[in-house]
């Protein structure tokens, strides 16, 4: 069912607000209240965590709608048109995360990513590399989603660019895993049972990729 564009944007705005408010509240509780990060760092450092989580969830929801509509067509097929809206907004929020991260990227904020002399260490270089690669692919997908560009592409080419979105999402998994895995196993990072944002993001990305894998597996069996 094709919904009018304004309805699509209204629903998208509601979803974006819910995801962003949840992410910001969670980051505030986990980092400012529980881990005593000063409130001075709320505007950029802590907000960047909620921006990164929101981008990951919104891009993931855009990927997830396809598999959900495949398994529960009655419930989710009418909402398939939201894929583009969620993808575009998710990409814009990811771009915000990139800008905020590049402003903050130094040993004073991210000591775990740096070696003693002030250069990035192996985890720092590798995780940032995967962040950049995923961002480049998401940019290509967003550009080819613009109607004037889409019009000049063959359907096969367009589908190929859209499909490599899953590769970009896999790179996001590597980006957050390399950055965060050491903290996932430390007891002190689980105060009040609150998982780190990198772990929440990694589990969400993994869930989306598994759903896609299940769709492929079911199609092959048929
Ligand atoms: C040029 C590209 C990128 C750069 C330079 C970059 C940089 C960073 C940095 C510095 C952090 C650490 C934040 C922190 O711990 O406070 C981070 C974490 C994160 N990034 Fe990126 N990123 C990039 C692309 C992306 C993209 C495209 C996504 C997803 C769509 C993403 C999602 C995340 C997530 C979920 C975290 C975890 C936040 C946390 O652990 O608190 N990043 N990124």
Non-local (6+) Cβ contacts of 218 within 8 A are 70
Buried b (16+ CB within 10 A) or exposed e, 142-179: bebbeeeeeeeeeeeebeebbeebeebbbbbbbbbbbb
Atom of ligand 1 nearest to the CA of 102: 5
pTM of the model: 0.94
Pick the closest to residue 60 from 94, 101, 10, 98 (CA basis).
94
List the chain domain ranges: 5-221
Q: Is the pLDDT of residue 7 over 80?
A: no
**CB of 95 closer than 8 Å to CB of 120:** no
Q: Model confidence over 116-169: pLDDT tens digits?
A: 999 999 999 999 999 999 999 999 999 998 889 989 999 899 889 988 999 999
Q: Is the pLDDT of residue 76 over 90?
A: yes
Residues in contact with ligand 1 by the CB-under-6-Å rule are 48-49, 52-53, 55-56, 59, 94, 97-98, 101-102, 105, 110, 128, 131-132, 134-135, 138, 172, 175-176, 179-180, 196-198, 201
State the architecture of 5-221 in CATH terms.
Up-down Bundle (1.20)
DSSP state of 28: I
CA of 164 to the centre of ligand 1 (A): 20
């Amino acid at each position: 069912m094709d919904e009018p564009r304004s309805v699509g944007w209204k629903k998208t705005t509601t979803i974006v607000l819910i995801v962003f408010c949840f992410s910001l509240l969670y980051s505030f509780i986990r980092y400012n209240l529980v881990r005593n990060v000063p409130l001075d760092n709320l505007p950029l450092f802590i907000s960047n965590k909620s921006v990164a989580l929101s981008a990951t969830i919104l891009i993931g929801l855009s990927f997830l709608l396809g598999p959900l509509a495949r398994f529960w067509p009655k419930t989710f097929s009418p909402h398939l048109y939201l894929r583009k809206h969620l993808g575009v907004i998710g990409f814009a929020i990811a771009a915000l995360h990139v800008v905020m991260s590049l402003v903050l990227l130094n040993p004073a904020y991210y000591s775990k990513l740096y070696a003693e002399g002030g250069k990035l260490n192996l985890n720092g270089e590798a995780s940032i590399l995967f962040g950049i690669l995923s961002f480049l692919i998401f940019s290509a997908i967003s550009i080819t989603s613009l109607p004037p560009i889409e019009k000049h592409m063959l359907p096969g080419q367009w589908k190929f660019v859209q499909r490599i979105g899953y590769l970009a999402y896999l790179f996001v998994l590597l980006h957050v895993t390399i950055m965060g895995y050491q903290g996932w196993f430390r007891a002190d990072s689980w105060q009040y049972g609150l998982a780190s944002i990198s772990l929440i993001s990694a589990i969400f990305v993994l869930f989306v990729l598994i759903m896609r894998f299940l769709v492929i597996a079911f199609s092959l069996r048929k």
